[in-house]
Amino acid sequence: MTPSTLGNAMEIGVVTNNITAMRQFYGEVLALPFESQLDFPGGSMYRYQLGGNIIKLVSYGKDTPQHGVPGGGHAACGYRYISFGVADLPSVIANLKDAGVEITIDVTRFTDTLGFAFVCDPDGNWIELFGGC
């Protein structure tokens, strides 16, 4: 059965007990446009646009778990990282280094003109950036 979806966008929820640092990282360091804040019983969600998709930073207040499993694909099973393309990968990574962002895997080419890199958000979640080199 193929579900009838409401559009082509994907939304990913990132639960954090470090909402201030995470909002600064996604909203200022990555410069993702802030869409909205949604308060719900027991918590809050801050929504950031990534192309046609949404990254939802979620806090459950005092009921937010204290620890996640940081790291990429080798750290644990399940959803382990998000991935998105950028036009000039080396420049983006250089700017993130200058901003003090942890680069877990530096620019690595997989063809003559394309590469990937991984960075960490303040909670240790991995983000793959791929694109032209």
| pTM for this model (two decimals) | 0.90
Report the pLDDT value the prediction gives residue 4, as an integer from 0 to 100: 79
- Measure the CA angle with vertex 42, ends 37 and 46; round to 5°: 20
Q: CB of 14 within 8 A of CB of 125?
A: yes
If phi > 0 it is left, if psi is from -120 to 50 it is alpha, else beta; for residue 75 that is alpha
What is the CATH architecture assignment of 81-133? Roll (3.10)
Q: How does pLDDT run across 107-120, given as a tens digit for each residue?
A: 999 999 999 999 99
Q: CB of 132 within 8 A of CB of 28?
A: no
**In the chain, ranges of CATH 3.10.180.10 domains:** 9-61, 81-133
What is the CATH architecture assignment of 9-61? Roll (3.10)
Report the pLDDT value the prediction gives residue 60, as an integer from 0 to 100: 94
